[in-house]
Amino acid sequence: MSIEKTIFGTTKDGREVTAYTLRNIRGMRVKISSLGAAIVSVEMKDFAGERKDIVLGYDKVSDYEENGTFFGAAVGRGANRTEGAGFVLDGTEYHLPKNEGENNLHSGPDSYAFRLWDCVKEEEDSVSFHLDSPDGDQGYPGNFSITVTYTLTDQNELKIHYEGESDQTTIVNMTNHTYFNLNGHNCGSVRRHWIRLQASSFTPVKESGSIPTGEIWPVEGTPMDFTKGKVIGEELASDYHQMRLVKGYDHNFVIDGWDQTLRKIAEVEGEQSGITMKVYTDLPGVQFYTGNFLEGVRGKRNMIYHDNSGFCLETQYYPNAANEESFPSPVLKKGEKYDTTTIYQFGVR
């Protein structure tokens, strides 16, 4: 195991951005930037021994400062969508920035994805980034202190561990927004990837804004059913109304048997590379997104990404959970610890 520290670039206001590359004994490499605590690259060999970078991203710090796609970023304080850009907590109404119509997406234009995190710990197999988010930041109550640790194991596991605490009761829903293409970031569409989700239900969205209706629907008999596994593109062009609303898959799937323990929730395989990925989490939901709005994005080495060039599996509390009492609660009480882990484990068939 080893870690290498390099200068990734500088921000528009002249601050230095650092990148940390983790390596394991199997030759896997993971590069993480202090800007957005973002996963910049994940490199491993495919079944033919060819090295592949299997995450979408950028080459320049300036692109990560914009990053409308949220490539690789640690997203917070509240990931995903909040209806009406606000919520009521303990009788007090809080207002968030409106950055997606009348709603809030990923906590607004000043999401943690665009901030420079402090590296607080480096070890041979891990790196930890820290951020202090003051009371009122993004509209949320409480001084919130958050640390995210990335660990690369010799079993090709990329572990993401979030730890946080607030001096007031608040809302916290952290996630990672990496886009994967298991054939390689420059290898076109993920439509032929095979995927299985341990989710027998999902949260349908309203006619506009991609806000959950508050209901939970079974996936059985619909294109949303991945319980037995299937190719992503098999029903991607379906006229199923829920999919037409968002140009494909961009829904929260409800994890079967959620009990706050770490469990496998997804398996994916790249059809060309043979690279596989298993996802584990202790959170109740996962946003399966098929990169429906990537058309024309210029990424690494001038690669032009297109719709469906990557997919996301964003582990989370359900979208708009701050406004839906029936959903698992994203409330972090004063003095309690926010502590959650997601693992992406890679292999080759």
Cβ distance 43 to 32 under 8 Å?
no
On whether 80 is known to bind a ligand per the annotation, the reply is: yes
On whether 81 is known to bind a ligand per the annotation, the reply is: yes
H or E segment to which residue 243 belongs: helix 241-244
Return the closest-CA partner of residue 283 out of 318, 312, 250, 249: 318
What is the set of active-site residues? 177, 314
Return the closest-CA partner of residue 203 out of 252, 264, 146: 252
Distances (CA, A) of 184 to 30, 55, 187, 295: 14, 7, 5, 17
| Burial track 158-185 (b if 16+ CB lie within 10 A, e otherwise) | bbbbbbbbbebbbbbbbbbbbbbbbbbb
* 248 strand-pairing partners: none
DSSP 3-state of 280: strand
On whether 250 is known to bind a ligand per the annotation, the reply is: yes
On whether 110 is known to bind a ligand per the annotation, the reply is: no
C-alpha 24/C-alpha 133 separation (Å) is 33
Residue numbers belonging to the annotated binding site for beta-D-galactose: 80-81, 177-179, 250
Residue numbers belonging to the annotated binding site: 80-81, 177-179, 250
